[in-house]
Amino acid sequence: MNIRQFKQRVKKCRHSLAVRQTVAFNDVDMMGVVWFGNYYRYFELARAAFCQKLQLDFEHVQKAGYELPVVRSECNYRNPARYNDVIEIEIYLVPPDRPMVIFMYAVRDLGERLLAFGTTEHVVCLNREPLISWDNAVRQWLPEELFDGI
């Protein structure tokens, strides 16, 4: 996914949320910049906040037998972040075309400079089996926003 593809996909997203985080001392490597793998922790923070906004009750969903395991993750790095930098992680919910939930993420500094962008792709599983189609049952448990446009 290059930056053009990212921007095109994000344009179609109707739901997003931005969270702020200060870069921790232990997020930074011996080169003085955030270690590349830690961006996935930033993605996770944004996703948790987004799921709360959607009132996606994790335990509720889990008890109903649903899971949303990550099947692919990707991050592209444009500019480094450093210790004590305040960063903003924006998460976008991509309109689904299959029983998958796809999030896109942009990490920016407070001057709106893009530091990184990426994605996590999640399949919807019921009792450990991936769903073939969105059915009515899953629509009872997952927030309406996930089915936006279906």
Site string for its own copies, 65-84 (x = CB under 8 A): --x-xxxxxxxxx--x--xx
Helix (H) or strand (E) holding 17: strand 15-22
Measured between alpha carbons, how far is 40 from 34 in angstroms, rounded to an integer?
11
Whether residue 75 contacts residue 40, with contact meaning beta carbons closer than 8 Å, is answered with yes
Minimal distance, residue 112 CB to its own copies, in Å? 21
Closest to its own copies by CB, 110 or 150 = 110
74 versus 135: smaller Cβ distance to its own copies? 74
Contact set for its own copies, span 91-120 (CB under 8 A): 120
- H helical segments located in the chain: 3-11, 39-53, 58-63, 136-141
Which stretches of the chain bind its own copies, using CB under 8 A? 22, 24-26, 28-33, 35-38, 40-41, 43-45, 47-49, 52, 58, 67, 69-77, 80, 83-84, 120
